[in-house]
Structure 1
Amino acid sequence: MTAYWVLASVGVLLVLLIQGRWSPAVLFTSWAVGLVLVGVIDQQALLSSYSNSALMTLVVLMLVSLALERSPLLDRLSDALLKGRESMASLRLMGLTAMMSAFLNNTAVVGSLLGVISRQRYIPASRLLIPLSYASILGGITTLVGTSTNLVVNSFVINAGLPALGMFDFTLVGLPVALICIMGLMFSARLLPKNRMLDQEVAQSYFLEAQVMAGSSLIGNSIEDNQLRNLDGLFLLEIVRHDRLLSPVTPEEVIEEGDVLVFTGEVEKVQTLQRFSGLQLFGTQVDRLLASNLVEVVISHESELPKRTLREVDFRTLFNAGVVGIRRGKHRLTGQLGQIPLRVGDSLLLAVGPDFKEQRYIDRNFHVLSGTLQRPKLAPKQSLLAFVGFGTVIGLSALSLLPLLNGLLLLLAILLVTKVLSLSELRRRFPFELWLIIGSALTVAKALESSGGAQLVADAVRSVCNGYGVYGAFIGVFFITLILTEVVTNNAAAALVFPIGLSTATAFNADAMPFIMAVAFGASACFIIPFGYQTHLMVYSPGRYRMVDYLKVGLPVSILYSASVLTLVPMVFPF
């Protein structure tokens, strides 16, 4: 009876994950705690899940990647990469991205190249960003450390008492699959739109300027006293005073004659300003001044902003910046900006204050696309130390001379001692949410297995595939994982299907390795819907894409990927 109860609760968890009203971290943690409280799993099992060695490896790897993503290497390569014919430039970009993603966290690789590609003017960014995201996935499937999904699957493998996966256990399947799919991308990427970069036009459309004329009743009174903070649909963003820019504007700021008031929001509600005497709307001369103060950013997957509004987080105070506009994919969002729930991947056009660069949480919350703000880069010696150290750790691990976790911990200590990384940076960027999700998912997987729930599903898979044998069951496990990774997330899909895959292998008296690979490769097969994979969300707004763009390019890649994996895995890992 416990098996049915646990299975039903996991079904509810899946439905809630698909709905997306609560974050995976909240849902998985709640379920893990609930399973402990009702006695399905003991407290020690919960605690051991959060200290799983493969999970710790993933966490330390992501912390070390903070140094690698600040290297100027990618910036220097980009200029050479993107020159020449578009097809060859795209191939060079995908090749570099896949190669880097094989050993670096793919989110870090995309984050490093995102601003570079958005700022260059050789090729429209919309022709490059989806291939960039897909190539980062394809590079990631070739090694153990290439993607968090492979490390997550390894954590389940270790948790199940099986031998840990090696650095290159994925390569014999992953490398040919990656090459086949990159060749396919060369053709399907031709279907992408050629969206122009709209920097100045976008900035122009977001602003409404009004000048305070002599004799205006506003003069001599503060912003608060003039009730300029509570306008219907409009928001006072900045004041231009004698060629100086006052940003952000405080409630105590006193209006002076000649001030140019810059409003944002629902600029079509210009009639709101008619109640103020001596306020004159005029042309676009101030746009040049404003443009020097604009920064375009994308909300990162690590950010605390998604599902919250600008008003809830007190954005202006937190970042010393005003939000001029919000773009989601191809569309500029309208309405009162302060009341719009934000999402990962949203592009924000910010009018920033003079000390915006000094704000502590910029790198955690945003990927910077344009503007003068750039994250501090490593010095050449620091960059060399980071890359040589990382390459040495990977090499020693591949040769079984040093456990990967030990090597990464040693490298992290060296980076801290040499001040390449700081403790404050580690605190800001610690992947706490990912750690919660995976630790809790391990607990849910243990509950599924120990209660017999996974065995029930495995028996059902066996009965459905009875006429097709073990290969039919293998295909079923792969496609269940693929579908889940499209509608939830890659790590959640791996967590939910792994115990089922393992029990299915046992039910058919087959080797577990093909089913483990089916889960690993299936969980990385997110090419059709942008919301299941964080790198797709990162490029969604900067590329000004629509959902159909992912479908047109991703469907052929998904078909190629699935056919290649289903052919190669049984050849490399026999049943």
Structure 2
Amino acid sequence: MTAYAVLLSIVALLALLIRGRTAPAMLFTVWAAAYYLAGFVSEREWLAGYTNSALITLILLLLVSLALERSPLLDRFSDLVLKGGPARAILRLSVVTTMFSAVLNNTAVVGALLGVVSKQRRVAPSKLLIPLSYAAILGGVTTLIGTSTNLVVNSFVIDAGLPALEMFQFSLVGIPLALACIAVMVMCSRLLPTHEPAERENRQTYFLEAQVTPDSPLAGRSIEQNRLRNLDGLFLLELEREGRLISPVGPDEILEEGDVLVFTGQVEKMQALQQIPGLQVFGTRADALLGSNLVEVVISNESILPNRTLREVDFRSQFDAGVVGIRRGDKRLTGQLGRIPLRVGDALLLAVGPDFAQHRNIDRNFHLLDTGVLRPKLTPRQSTLALTGFALAIAVSAVGVWPLLNCLLVLLAILLATRILSVSEMRRRFPFDLLVTIGSALAIAKALESSGAAELVADAMRGLFDGHGVVGAFVGVYLITVVLTEVITNNAAAALAFPIALSTARAFDVDPMPFVMAIAYGASAGFLIPFGYQTHLMVMSPGRYRTLDFLRIGLPVSLTYSAAVLLLVPVFFPF
């Protein structure tokens, strides 16, 4: 009875994850705590998940990556990579991205190249951004540290009492897998759409200007007193006064004659301004002064903004910026922007104030497409020190001299001592959600095993694939993981599929390693639906993609990827 109760609760968890209205970190934490309170896991098992050595290694790796992502190394490759026609540019970009993603966090790699690819004029960005995201995935599956998913799987492996996965154990299948998928992307490049970049559109459609006339009753009164804050479909964004730009505009700002007010929202609702005495509407042009402070950003998965509106977060105060427009994939959202619930991956066009770049929450909440307002890059000396230290840490751990955890601890200390990384930056970007999600997932996995729920699923799979033996069960575990990673996040898919895979291997009395690898590769096989993988959401709006664009190019890539996994894993990791 206990096994069925746990199994039903996992089904409920899956349903909530697919619905997507509650953060995975919250759901996993609640479920783990509930299992502890119900007695399915002991206090020691519940708390031990948060101190798992592989999980701590992952956290340290992400903290070290905060310094590495500021290296100018990737920028130097951009001119070389993006030369030639679309097919050649895709090939070069994919190879370079795959190489870097093998040792760096794939989100950081895509974030570093996103602005460069989006702003170049040689090839339409929509021809390159999906391959950029796919290549980051392909590079991630070639090494243990290439993607957080591999380290998450390693944390489950260690927790299950199995030997820890090695640094280049993934390379045996990962490298030929990556090469095959890159070749498919190049051959299928014609399936990628050709969209003009968003900034080539006339940005004037975002704006509506009006001027305070001489002897206007508005002059001498504040924005609030003149009731200019909550007009129907329009929002006061900026104020130009004698060649000086005031942005954003506070409610207590006193209007003067000759002030130019810039509104955003539904520009067609001009009549709302025409009815205000002393305000002259003179068109929708946006002058050079206004255009000089526009910045494009993409909402990150670490942001506080998803599922909230601009009004709820008090956007102006938080970031010293006003939102001019919102783009979601290939659509520019209209209406009262302050009431639109935001999503990860939305592209925002911001009119920023003078303190925007100094706000410490910018890099946590956004991927900036305009590199001019990014944090300063590392100096050549700092970059050399950080990259050399990272390479040494990987090499020392790969040859077995010292564990990766120890190497990363030493490297982190060096980065802090040399001020390449600061404590405040670490505190700001600490991956708390990942820590609680994976720590809780380990407790959930224990509950699945101890209650017998995982064994129930394994028995069902053994019965389902009775005529196909262990190979059929292996294929079944892989396909289950692929489906999960397409509809929920990759790390959540690995967390839910791992105990099923382990129980299935034990049911067939075979080496669990092929099933472990099926989980690792399957959890990274998110090529069809953009909403399950962070890097897809990062490129969706800058590339102006639709879901159909991912399906069109993702299907041949996904089939190639799956065929390579199912053929090569049993060869290098026999049952």
The TM tier, using the shorter chain, reads over 0.9
Alignment length, in residue pairs? 575
| Partner AA of 1:213 in structure 2 | T
Does residue 256 of structure 2 align to residue 249 of structure 1? Answer: no
CA contact (8 A) 2:135 2:182 kept: yes
Gaps of 5+ in 2: none
Give 1:3-14 correspondences, 5 Å limit: 3-14=3-14
In 2, the alpha carbon distance for the partners of 1:312 and 1:43 equals: 38
Query: Displacement, 1:287?
Result: 2.5
Give 1:293-442 correspondences, 5 Å limit: 293-370=293-370, 372-442=372-442
Give 1:100-499 correspondences, 5 Å limit: 100-199=100-199, 201-283=201-283, 286-370=286-370, 372-499=372-499
CA contact (8 A) 2:274 2:280 kept: no
- Structure 1 residues 214-223 or 296-305, which shifts more? 214-223
Q: Per-residue CA shift, 1:483-542, capped at 9, x if unaligned?
A: 000000100110001000000001111110000001111000000000110000000101
Query: Displacement, 1:74?
Result: 0.8
CA contact (8 A) 1:294 1:371 kept: no
SS in 1 for 2:446: helix
SS in 1 for 2:95: helix
Query: Displacement, 1:450?
Result: 1.0
Query: Displacement, 1:202?
Result: 4.4
In 2, the alpha carbon distance for the partners of 1:163 and 1:189 equals: 41
| Partner AA of 2:414 in structure 1 | I
CA contact (8 A) 1:295 1:371 kept: no
| Partner AA of 1:369 in structure 2 | L
| TM-score, length of structure 1 as denominator length | 0.99
Q: Per-residue CA shift, 1:233-261, capped at 9, x if unaligned?
A: 11000011111111111111111111111
Query: Displacement, 1:203?
Result: 2.1
Q: Once superposed, which parts of structure 1, at least 4 consecutive aligned residues long, lie more than 6 Å away?
A: none
SS in 1 for 2:442: helix
In 2, the alpha carbon distance for the partners of 1:335 and 1:444 equals: 43
Does residue 49 of structure 2 align to residue 49 of structure 1? Answer: yes
Q: Per-residue CA shift, 1:380-410, capped at 9, x if unaligned?
A: 0100011100000000111000100000010
Does residue 85 of structure 2 align to residue 98 of structure 1? Answer: no
In 1, the alpha carbon distance for the partners of 2:371 and 2:312 equals: 26
CA contact (8 A) 2:198 2:542 kept: no
In 2, the alpha carbon distance for the partners of 1:371 and 1:266 equals: 29
| Partner AA of 2:264 in structure 1 | T
SS in 2 for 1:517: helix
In 1, the alpha carbon distance for the partners of 2:73 and 2:511 equals: 43
SS in 1 for 2:240: strand
Query: Displacement, 1:269?
Result: 1.2
Give 1:14-33 correspondences, 5 Å limit: 14-33=14-33
CA contact (8 A) 2:209 2:285 kept: no
SS in 1 for 2:395: helix
| Partner AA of 2:157 in structure 1 | V
| Partner AA of 2:485 in structure 1 | T
Gaps of 5+ in 1: none
Does residue 81 of structure 2 align to residue 77 of structure 1? Answer: no
Cα distance change, pair 431–568 in 1 and its aligned pair in 2 (3 A)? same
In 2, the alpha carbon distance for the partners of 1:286 and 1:110 equals: 32
In 1, the alpha carbon distance for the partners of 2:536 and 2:174 equals: 20
| Partner AA of 2:538 in structure 1 | M
In 1, the alpha carbon distance for the partners of 2:215 and 2:66 equals: 55
Query: Displacement, 1:212?
Result: 1.2
Query: Displacement, 1:81?
Result: 1.2
Q: Per-residue CA shift, 1:52-105, capped at 9, x if unaligned?
A: 000000000000001110001111110121122221121111000000000111
Give the corresponding residue for 1:569. Answer: 569
In 2, the alpha carbon distance for the partners of 1:302 and 1:379 equals: 27
SS in 1 for 2:367: strand
| TM-score, length of structure 2 as denominator length | 0.99
| Partner AA of 2:240 in structure 1 | V
Query: Displacement, 1:158?
Result: 0.3
In 2, the alpha carbon distance for the partners of 1:161 and 1:294 equals: 54
CA contact (8 A) 2:87 2:189 kept: no
| Partner AA of 1:531 in structure 2 | F
